[in-house]
Amino acid sequence: MNRLTRIAEAIAATALAAIFIVFLLQIFTRYSGKLSQWMPVENLSLWMSEIEPLRWTVYLISLLWVWLIFLGCSFVVRERDHVAFDILYQAAPPRLRKIMTILGAIILIAVMLISLPATWEAIMANRLMELKKLQTLRLPITGDKIAIKWLFFPYLVLMAILIIRSCSRIFLELRTNNQNTEVEET
């Protein structure tokens, strides 16, 4: 899991860098026409005045942001880094904490497994999601518009990773006699 976390961190960092670069490109193309009148070099001024704003940047930023958030929550963010309302959990004795941890993981697995088929149907098997396309964002090689289902696909990845992490959590809790859980460790 550590190797997957490192790969996910690299992907998240790359996505964040891409968002930043595309955002700067969007700003430049949007305001270059207005800035062109102050350029001292005539050829540069003429070139900048002819630049039109890029419409696809907003869609690419949105797509990358959704992927960044769900992959980040799946792999990069540790459980103890998530917001937790754990007043009752912290007040419980260590043995009860272990039971609460296992029970919480079982409930999470059950909810994810119950909702997974409907979510898959809504995102991947829905013909409308295939027909609906991101308007200005295209695949670089083929030039085809990107189906909107790929904007929502990271949620399926998040669900799968949550199931795997929860199973791993149960396995670790049952295997170890350590009374401290991951949430408590610093």
In this predicted structure, what is the pLDDT of residue 179?
56
* Helices (H), ranges, the chain: 2-35, 42-49, 56-71, 87-91, 94-123, 127-131, 149-175
Q: What is the pLDDT along the chain (186 residues), one digit of tens a residue?
A: 678 778 878 888 898 999 999 999 988 888 877 777 777 777 777 777 777 777 778 888 888 898 888 877 777 666 666 667 778 888 889 899 899 999 999 999 999 999 999 999 999 988 888 778 876 677 766 778 888 888 888 889 889 988 998 999 999 999 987 655 554 443
76, 5 contact by CB (below 8 A): yes
The predicted structure's pLDDT at residue 186: 39
Give the C-alpha separation, 53 to 70, whole Å: 29
Q: pTM higher than 0.75, yes or no?
A: no
Q: What is the pLDDT of residue 181?
A: 52
Neighbours of 21 (CB within 10 A): 11
From residue 155, alpha-carbon distances to 73, 93, 158, 160, 176 in Å are: 10, 35, 5, 9, 31
Residue-level pLDDT at 72? 78
Which DSSP category does 147 fall into? E
Strand, helix or coil for residue 122 = helix
